[in-house]
Amino acid sequence: MSGASVASVPVVCSSRSLARYGGQSPARPPDEQLQLFIVRLTYYAMNYLFSGILLFSWAAFGQAPGVAGSSQVGQAVPNDTSSQAKALINQAIQALGGEAYLNVKDTAQEGRAYSFYHGQSNSTGALYWRYTKFPDRERVEVTKKRDVVYVYNGDQGYEITYKGTAAQDPTGMADYLRRREYSLDWVLRRWLNEPGVALFYDGPAIAEQKQAEQVTIMNARNEAVTLFIDPATHLPIKKSFSWRDPKDKQRNIEEEVYDNYRLVQGIMTPYSVTRFYNGDMASQRFLNSIRYNQNVSDSLFAASVSYDPNRPPTKK
């Protein structure tokens, strides 16, 4: 093939072209047939190589840890999906309150929470008082007497009861830290400012029997969250992410559904949040009231271990 350039490579004949010759190619000299054979071989090799690379890229996106099960990033709409996703996410942030939402420093909440097991309610609900300080401090007080308290400060967690203060068990703490990492506030207020974040527009979808626009946000750690955004209000309807259990290697899907939005201090706030685990309802929270930027005291998030619930009591 000496002397042949890329521009001069002949196009491989289609079935329609062959039909013009009664299903057979016109006779060619032996040297030209050999040259055509080599060109075709090179063309098919490059074509299969490109297809293999493309399929590998799709598979890498489709199997990346953290991608929500309903997201099909590899089958993205064939236009600039990043700019579409960015526009939708910016609209969602503005709908939530814009700068007022992005600059929330702390919250003080009151409400009632319910827990479920395999989708079935296993409690009559519990009153709770919740205080948060962005990004990583939280205090939750439950029961009417507010005598059971959970405190989270950074990567440490504590349970405070009449017995004293105990460290959160490792499994429960890991679950909490994972949900915080994938929380809506962390995704919109932290992930989007990190280097290496990728945005994908996944197209129109249905979420909670509502029309939605589906977008996926993937950070440089290969973690991803899928958001379903109401095209009319631009508010988030649902958030979804997945993770692989290190013990059984199974992939789990966690979702949160946001409803009953109300405007509080310039911030659109979901007064109803329902969490699902592998399709089963896991918990529900209903707000009675919430206040933003109340200068919540740091002392609310201070705790130190005073006893170990797994240690047998000392004999006197």
Q: Look up the CATH number of the domain holding residue 97.
A: 2.50.20.10
pLDDT score of 315: 66
Whether residue 237 has pLDDT greater than 90 = yes
Task: Please tell me the predicted confidence (pLDDT) of residue 312.
Answer: 79
**Amino acid 154: pLDDT:** 97
pLDDT in tens, 58-91: 333 333 333 333 333 333 333 479 999 999 999 9
- The answer on 243 and 136 residing in a single domain is yes
**Residue 200 is encoded by which pair of tokens?**
């994908």
Lowest pLDDT segment from 63-72, 237-246, 300-309: 63-72
Taking only the tens place, the pLDDT of each residue in 120-147 is: 887 789 999 999 999 999 999 999 999 9
137 domain residue, yes or no = yes
Q: What confidence tens digit (pLDDT) does each residue in 153-191 have?
A: 999 999 999 999 999 999 999 999 999 999 999 999 999
Is residue 231 situated within a structural domain?
yes
Please tell me whether residues 47 and 109 are part of one structural domain: no
Are residues 39 and 132 both part of a single domain? no
Query: Between residues 44 and 157, which one has the greater pLDDT?
Result: 157
Distance CA 191, CA 182 (A): 9
Q: Is the Cβ–Cβ distance between 35 and 1 less than 8 Å?
A: yes
Say what the pLDDT of residue 121 is: 81
Total number of residues shown for the chain: 316
Kindly state whether residue 108 falls inside one of the protein's structural domains.
yes
Q: Are 285 and 297 in contact (CB under 8 A)?
A: no
Residue 39 corresponds to which amino acid? V
Q: What is the mean pLDDT of residues 19-24?
A: 36
Q: Which helix (H) or strand (E) holds 275?
A: strand 267-277
Place of tokens 């939708």: 88
Note whether 17 and 141 are same-domain residues: no
Residues 6+ apart with CB under 8 A from 178: 243
For residue 75, the model assigns a pLDDT of 34
Alpha-carbon distance of 96 to 85, in angstroms, equals 17
- As a whole number of angstroms, the distance between CA 256 and CA 282 comes to 10
H helices of the chain, in order, are: 15-19, 30-62, 81-96, 99-102, 170-181, 184-189
138, 237: one domain: yes
Average pLDDT in the chain: 81
| 189 & 231 share domain | yes
Of the CA atoms within 13 Å of residue 129, those in its CB half-sphere come to 10
Does a structural domain hold residue 310?
no
pLDDT at 245 over 60: yes
Domain that holds residue 41: 12-62
For residue 310, name the pLDDT band (cuts at 50, 70, 90).
confident
pLDDT band at 219 (very low <50, low <70, confident <90, very high): very high
Shared-domain flag, residues 251 and 285: yes
Residue 171 in domain: no
| Same-domain check for residues 141 and 35 | no
Together in a domain, 98 and 220: yes
38-50 per-residue burial string, b: 16 or more CB within 10 A, e: under 16: ebeeeeeeeeeee
- CB–CB of 169/220 below 8 Å? no
Does residue 194 carry a pLDDT above 60?
A: yes
pLDDT at 37: 41
Is 159 part of a structural domain of the chain?
no
> Does any domain span residue 154?
no
pLDDT band at 110 (very low <50, low <70, confident <90, very high): very high
Give the per-residue pLDDT at 17: 34
Higher pLDDT: 279 or 49? It is 279
Domains held by the chain: number: 2
Whether 168 is covered by a domain: the verdict is: no
- Taking residues 198-207, what's their average pLDDT? 96
Residues 43, 91 share a domain: no
Model-wide pTM > 0.75 = no
Q: Write down the pLDDT at residue 3.
A: 41
pLDDT band at residue 118 under the 50/70/90 scheme: confident
b/e code 178-199 from CB counts within 10 Å (16+ = b): eeebbbbbbbbbebbeeeeebb
**Domain identity same for 100 and 186:** yes
Q: Are residue 282 and residue 202 in the same domain, yes or no?
A: yes
